[in-house]
Structure 1
Amino acid sequence: MKILIAPDKFKDSLSAIEVCNALTRGLKKNNPSINVLSCPMADGGDGSLKTLNHYLNLKPQELKVNDPLFNTIKSTYYLSQNTAYIEMSLASGLVLLDEEDRNCMFTSSFGTGELINDAIKKGATNINLYLGGSATNDGGIGIASALGFKFYDVSNNLLSPIGENLILIDRIDMSEVQFNFQELKVKVVTDVNNLLYGKNGAAYIYGAQKGASLIEIESLDKGLINLESKLIEHGFKSIAKIPGAGAAGGAAGGAVAFLKAKLVSGIEEFIEITQLESLIRDSDLVITGEGKLDSQTQKGKVVSGVCNLSKKYNKPIIAVCGDSDMGIYKSLGLKKVYNILDKANSISNSFKKADKYLTDIGKDILNSL
């Protein structure tokens, strides 16, 4: 029997590679000769570059940039020949801020723009930007500001590129933009398909988890509406109705407008990089997983992508996770779901000892075959 393991990371606990290793140990515990193949996955969210580096020979580039609150930090992106791989969470991520400092009214994606700026100056003509885990809701004006765009209010005051100021934008100045983005290929890899604004937009769906109150969320949403209006006034492409434009607080839409970027599905990108389809076709059993199976799982995430391909080739598929919502496995076509919380005595314990519990689950899966 050939078993394929193709999971996402378990957020705040284990990387996708570590998940693969733990399950493999369990599967091989009582049958060392069993054929197990690991294929760690990602979908464009935070942690994508760690998984990508498992497959590609990427060279790290370290530099000092501004974090979401304009404090200086060390960050990293990766180069491979003329292609830069940049993860937004490494410069503008929620994990970079203490809980009490998280509020996307006052945060900026400026640091991510500094990474892009550095990559272009070092000769990159292809920019692959992975959006996920951002602390921002600035419509990408932070990224744009680091690349020379300037934003002014009606009194001609220069605005700081933060979420709170989106609603104040009256004029966009491009006179100091250093690069011709028509000559560059910018690809934005995302794991969500939210629109820029509205009830399914960046602010209403993700603002609360980034620290904004309901009143602030309403203001941020109006700010994104204003950004769209001013973009059109200044000859930029309309981004309001592009699926995925609301990713990373509207940074995806901003990248389309300012950087002429193309939005791509993260899971589709990783399916191609890993050659997952052929691996599934040649397997007898597929195991996937993520930290939690819930309603978001079906919206462009790793588990849904792996399940869809498994169904295409009529392969039985099992999921492992920290926790799962009741009934979700049926819609995904899963044969069975194994939850770490069924073994752990607390949520805290499930995070701390996830490696051990996944090894135990690996043994359970083998015993059930």
Structure 2
Amino acid sequence: MNIVIAPDSFKDALSARDAAAAIARGIARELPTATLHQCPMGDGGEGTLDALLAATGAERREANVQDALGREAVAAWGWQADTRTAFIELAEASGLQQLKRDERTALHSTTYGVGQLILAALDAGANSLLLTLGGSATNDAGAGMLAALGARLLDADGNPLAPGGAALARLATLDLAGLDPRLAALEVQTAVDVDNPLLGPRGASAIFGPQKGASDADVATLDRSIAHFADHVARALGEDHRELAGAGAAGGMGFAARAFLGASLRPGIELVMDQIGFDALLADADWVITGEGQLDGQSLSGKTPIGIARRAASHGVPTVALVGRLGDQWQAAFDHHITAAFALADGPMTLDEALSRCDALLSDRAQSLARLWCASHSMSG
């Protein structure tokens, strides 16, 4: 029996690699002779860089950057010398997981560190970039990234804007003359984990701002501020990308990547599966197990379990999802080739307890799945 174990990370609890190992331990207790292919995945958020490095053999490098709050930090990125391709994960520089819960501030967080990583890639001689978006602590529509790459965003007095999305309300001048000229020759693919537009009720601020510390009033402020920024961008470039599917990814970084880097936007899980040769694993698979922290209606917009299930279904392979929580409208996943889904909790527990026990809970649920598999095949035999 061949089982492909392809989870995403469980936010604040387990990396994708650790999640895959926990599932494998549980399966092995009941199916010790099964061939288990551990394939950590990512849809653009935290952990995607690790999945890409493991699959491609690219070199892990580090750069000194600013984090989402402007503090000094070290962020990893990937370098594939033979193809001169750089792999950059936004969450490494501007990720939500790097901030304590009481530090999250969607109004003022910045993507400046992502621009610094792009400069490091350009300095290495990159002619191709795969930029993964997801897991961000930011809601600045890529304004911080632009500033790091040489653009000037000025208020009415000619002063540089403060970091963050809220400050964009005061934007009077968008000066792109200083953008690094090497960007013109850089081919950019952007991996997004959602298909939301930039603005409005399904936009970056409304849907994702609250998890980054935004109140209802903050969401309204951010949406107005980013709309003002988008107006300036449209006038400067003669193109308006605010309605583009995925423009709202990572607090509007999808918008900035398309507008200023000329990036193509694709569902992150599809890009990752193509990079790691996932179809070859599915060709001989009997079963796929995937998972992440939560499965809900938003998962249909490009999250890992749905992408995995769709690809597996094209090979006739069933997919089971193990998730920390089954959220609103999770049953819609059945219409997108999830065969079955199970939450991890084995009784009432606090979030902190669930996070601390995630490894054991995941392993135990995987063991139960293996027992169910054995029982069903014994009865059918």
Measured against aligned partners, the alpha-carbon deviations of 1:45-71 in whole angstroms (never above 9, x if no partner) come to 122112222212222222322122222
The Cα shift of 1:332 comes to 3.9
SS where residue 144 of structure 1 aligns? helix
Q: What is the alpha-carbon distance in structure 2 between the residues aligned to residue 234 and residue 330 of structure 1?
A: 44
Alignment partner, residue 337 of structure 1: 341
SS in 2 for 1:27: helix
Distance 2:39 2:319 in 1: 14
Map of 1:353 onto structure 2: 357
| 2:192 equivalent to 1:194 | no
- In 1, the alpha carbon distance for the partners of 2:257 and 2:162 equals 18
Structure 1 residues 183 and 352: alpha-carbon distance in aligned structure 2, compared to 1, 3 A threshold? same
Q: More displaced, 150-159 or 323-332? A: 323-332
Give the counterpart letter for 1:131 in structure 2.
Answer: L
Question: Which segments of 5 or more consecutive residues in structure 1 lack a partner in the other structure?
Answer: none
Indicate conservation of the 8 Å contact 1:186/1:260, yes or no: yes
Say if 1:181 and 1:260, in contact at 8 Å, map to a contact too. no
Structure 2 Cα separation of the partners of residues 110 and 290 of structure 1: 28
Deviates more, 1:272-281 or 1:223-232: 272-281
SS at 2:180 equivalent: coil
Equivalent position of 2:372 in the other structure? 368
Question: Runs of at least 4 residues of structure 1 off by over 6 A?
Answer: none
Identity fraction in percent: 33
Residue 15 (structure 1) aligns with: 15
Shift of 1:345: 5.1
- Aligned-partner SS, 1:243: coil
- Write the deviation string for residues 241-266 of structure 1: whole angstroms up to 9, x where unpaired: 21111111111211222222221210
Q: TM-score, normalised by structure 2?
A: 0.90
Cα deviation, 1:302-324, whole Å, max 9, x if unaligned, reads: 11112222333333322212222
- For residue 220 of structure 1, what is the aligned residue in structure 2? 222
Q: State the match for 1:56 in structure 2.
A: 56
- Say whether residues 1:96 and 2:95 are aligned partners: no
Q: Which residue of 2 aligns with 1:77?
A: 77
- Output the CA distance in 2 between the equivalents of 1:43 and 1:124: 23
Match of 1:194, SS state, is: coil
Q: CA RMSD in A?
A: 2.0
Asked if the contact 1:145/1:161 (under 8 Å) is kept, the reply is no
Give the structure 1 partner of residue 379 of structure 2.
none
Task: Decide which of 156, 162, 165 is 1:163's aligned counterpart.
Answer: 165
| Cα distance change on mapping 1:255 and 1:236 into 2, 3 Å | farther
Q: Deviations over 1:96-117 (max 9, x none)?
A: 3333332121121111111111
How far is the alpha carbon of 1:329 from its aligned partner?
5.0
Query: Which residue is 1:308 aligned to?
Result: 310
Deviates more, 1:308-317 or 1:262-271: 308-317
Compare 145-154 and 176-185 and name the one that shifted more.
176-185
Q: How many angstroms apart in 2 are the aligned matches of 1:263 and 1:149?
A: 22
1:197 to partner: Cα distance: 0.9
Gaps of 5+ in 2: 374-381
Kept in 2, the 8 Å contact 1:167–1:223? The answer is yes
User: Per the alignment, do residues 154 and 25 of structure 1 end up closer, same or farther by CA in structure 2, a change over 3 Å counting?
Assistant: same
Aligned equivalents of 1:344, 1:353: Cα separation in 2: 13
Q: TM-score, normalised by structure 1?
A: 0.93
